[in-house]
Amino acid sequence: GEKVEQHESTLSVREGDSAVINCTYTDTASSYFPWYKQEAGKSLHFVIDIRSNVDRKQSQRLIVLLDKKAKRFSLHITATQPEDSAIYFCAASRGGSAKLIFGEGTKLTVSS
Amino acid sequence: GGIITQTPKFLIGQEGQKLTLKCQQNFNHDTMYWYRQDSGKGLRLIYYSITENDLQKGDLSEGYDASREKKSSFSLTVTSAQKNEMAVFLCASSIPRAGYEQYFGPGTRLTVL
């Protein structure tokens, strides 16, 4: 079946540094790529997404890059803060489908 | 704003027991989802419902039933609880178009004795 893989299961950075989380997908028909954040003991919430008609999107300190040729997308968190510490999940879905395929998550730790 | 509530928060059952998890949302969203999250892993889709009278299987539907009682509520039944099913079950909702964010509930943690 279709898969989304997150390459880093854990990531540690120092406060103020940048963090990069990478994902790859297998379904060439994927066209929507959201990211979700799960803080300790809490549920998931949406942080940012990108659609296949663009290759870059920025929202404040979050940047998402999409390389359709390589079937790869990444989340860049700039100027990290301790409150960025969480598990981040990437996901992908096909155009016209409500069904998201999630990656396994990356635990980001930002130390001060 | 809206909210998704899941009941119960913790569910303890015996192996072989039939167990039901409930989800309610007041976003007025058409589409609702049930996911299973195993410890340290990603989410796997069990069932989803695009609109009130729709029900679709996800990748992990075997051993589960689902019911969309009305637009605001979506229930999941574990038909025969197994010890390897200890996990958190997450409900989510969204508008009924592809490519829009899902809003998640707080989860139900299932323990099977």
Q: What is the pLDDT of residues A75-99, one digit of tens each?
A: 999 999 999 999 999 999 998 788 8
Q: pLDDT per residue over A50-71, tens digit each?
A: 999 999 999 999 999 999 999 9
A25–chain B nearest CA distance, Å:
14
Distance CA(A45)–CA(B4), nearest Å, equals: 12
Task: Note the pLDDT of residue B100.
Answer: 80
Task: Note the pLDDT of residue B1.
Answer: 80
Task: Note the pLDDT of residue B98.
Answer: 62
Query: In the A/B pair of chains, how many CB contacts fall below 8 A?
Result: 58
Q: Which positions of chain B have pLDDT values less than 70?
A: 97-98
Bond before B8 cis per omega within 30 degrees = yes
The DSSP secondary-structure symbol of B72 reads T
Cβ pair B106:A42 closer than 8 A: yes
Task: Note the pLDDT of residue B32.
Answer: 96
Contacts of B90 in chain A (CB under 8 A): 43-44
Task: Note the pLDDT of residue A1.
Answer: 76
A103–chain B nearest CA distance, Å:
6
Distance CA(A97)–CA(A78), nearest Å, equals: 31
Contacts of B31 in chain A (CB under 8 A): 98
Cβ pair A42:B96 closer than 8 A: no
Token code pair at residue A90: 């990437």
Task: Note the pLDDT of residue A87.
Answer: 96
Contact with chain B for residue A104, Cβ under 8 A:
yes
Question: Which of A:17-56 have CB within 8 Å of B?
Answer: 31-32, 34, 36, 42-46, 49, 51
Distance CA(B96)–CA(A59), nearest Å, equals: 24
Token code pair at residue B12: 């303890």
